[in-house]
Amino acid sequence: MTIEQGGLLLVWGTLVGLDLVSMPQAMISRPLVAGALAGAMLGDLGTGLQLGVIFELFQYDILPMGAVRYPEYGPATVAAVGAAHASTGALGVALGVVVGLATGLLGGISIHFMRRANAWAVRRHSDALERGDVSVIVRLHVASMLRDAARAALVTGAGLALGAGVHALLVSGLAVRGAMVVAVAVTGASIAAGTVGILRLIGRGPDLRWFAAGLLGGAAGVWLR
């Protein structure tokens, strides 16, 4: 990965992190979208789609309600694609998922601290907010978005650096068979997490039957193709 490509991934990861809450909320923070675009930037769309699907399944098991803590898989997927691009096959997927999971946890922690910083800023200007001071409201919104952008950039940068470090340390010592085991394990874990999340969302009523019919129809279409 060149310096220019790394810079593009850093910018893309920052935008993906902003999309989760601040702006523009255009669903680019979904791992499937984030991974596909990251892969396209590297000329490796297949790897981007693979990791995007894996982390999309992991994200299905998350209920982002209230102030609950949860991993942030958008920038994590971008970092995962960057890590996987340096290798090929199962080794790339294994390294990418390891880096992505660690980066996702870091992203979740950063969101928690950002929320605390935003709450502190609101308390600090509580009197002006109660008076309805528009200028203070605007400054708080802008500062919060800038804070979120800095957070997303730091998380993405840390993930990309982690990917480079992991690749340098492990790629020569991890056998192909070991990489296959890790890749199969993380893929199975993502499928399990996605299944649990989907079943929790659709319940056991008619939606479950429609989901099963769609799944079987899609599988049949792929098979017949």
Q: What pLDDT is attached to residue 120?
A: 93
Domain span at residue 157 reads: 3-224
pLDDT at 52: 93
Scan for tokens 């990309």, then name that residue.
160
- Residues 176, 91: contact at Cβ < 8 Å? yes
Number of structural domains, the chain?
A: 1
pLDDT of residue 175: 56
Q: How far is residue 84's CA from residue 125's CA, in Å, rounded to a whole number?
A: 45
Q: What is the mean pLDDT of residues 16-41?
A: 91
Of residues 188, 158, 171, the one with CA closest to residue 58: 188
CB 70 within 8 A of CB 197: no
Residue 72 CA to residue 181 CA, distance in Å, equals 25
CA 204/CA 24 separation, integer angstroms: 34
**pLDDT above 90 for 86:** no
* pLDDT digits 0-9 by tens, 155-214: 999 999 988 887 666 655 555 566 566 666 666 766 666 666 666 666 667 766 776 777
- Predicted confidence (pLDDT) per residue in 56-76, tens digit: 888 877 766 666 778 899 999
